[in-house]
Amino acid sequence: MSGEVETRAVSRDGSLAGKSALIVGGGTGIGLGVVDRFLSEGALVTVLDYSKDAIEALSERRDPALRAVLGDARDMAANISAVDQAIAAFSGIDTLVVCAGITDHFTSLADLPVESFDSAFREIFDINVKIALLATKAALPALRESEGTIVYTISNAGYLPGGGGPLYTASKFAVRGLVSQLSYELAPAIRVNAVAPGGTVTPLRGAEALGLDQQRLRDVPDIAEMIRAVNPLHVVPEPSDHAWAYLFLATKSRIAAVTGCVIRSDGGLDSRGLIPLDGAIGAGDM
């Protein structure tokens, strides 16, 4: 880039026009899809992400509506810094979105190494659960002032078996618990909801403690066809397909009576029958 402001399509009457959003884990994958959707709807976006490459790529856009903050969201100080920078740049925070995540790449309980069990548990729960709490704690005063919205990220693994191993699945059920508890605690000022994406081909990495940090979900052989085969809509969603759900839950004018809600953007996994009606793979064939 030559220092010129990047041209992007912004809706003048966008759903989030002039609203400030802090997106934790917005550097890649579904989080990046949310960033792009929010920007296109006129939002002012601050991204906190641990990936230096992702933060540099966002910074290179030279977009005045975008602030990219490098930091490990497992650290409260990083979250406070991101909140402070969002407030300094955009005069507050209207929406907090948490997309940070890590997987166990379907490692079963039997296959979890005894010697790395504790460290793997801490790593997965720190990233998938603790970050949501830390980011919310840091942003809480600003969200109370704006009477804002929070959108967490769950997963189909937060509802159904087989979306990961026991560590990943347990962590996603825990985020469901946060939605339930915090939507109660923070009402009526703040609405707390979530999106539960189904299988999506992204660079989601595995746990370092399990030796899976160099393995990305998108690198799993035939992952796209595996995703397509198990959902009734036979879709392989892109991050942008889920971003619409985050946009809806971040748009306060559209969710006047909505909190404690999860949008399951998973291709209809609960609609799988025991008998395939169209010749495709059904639950009974797996």
Q: How far apart are CA 118 and CA 115, in angstroms?
A: 8
Helix (H) or strand (E) holding 191: strand 191-197
Q: How far apart are CA 273 and CA 50, in angstroms?
A: 41
Query: Which residue matches tokens 């997106």?
Result: 23
- Among residues 50, 152, 159, 168, which one is catalytic? 168
> Among this protein's residues, is 50 annotated catalytic?
no
| Residues 6/39, Cβ–Cβ less than 8 Å | no
Helix 166-185, helix 117-125: angle, nearest 10: 40
Helix, strand, or coil (residue 180): helix
Going across the sheet that includes 149-153, the strands are: 66-70, 44-49, 20-24, 95-98, 149-153, 191-197, 262-265
Helix, strand, or coil (residue 248): helix
Question: What are the catalytic residues?
Answer: 168
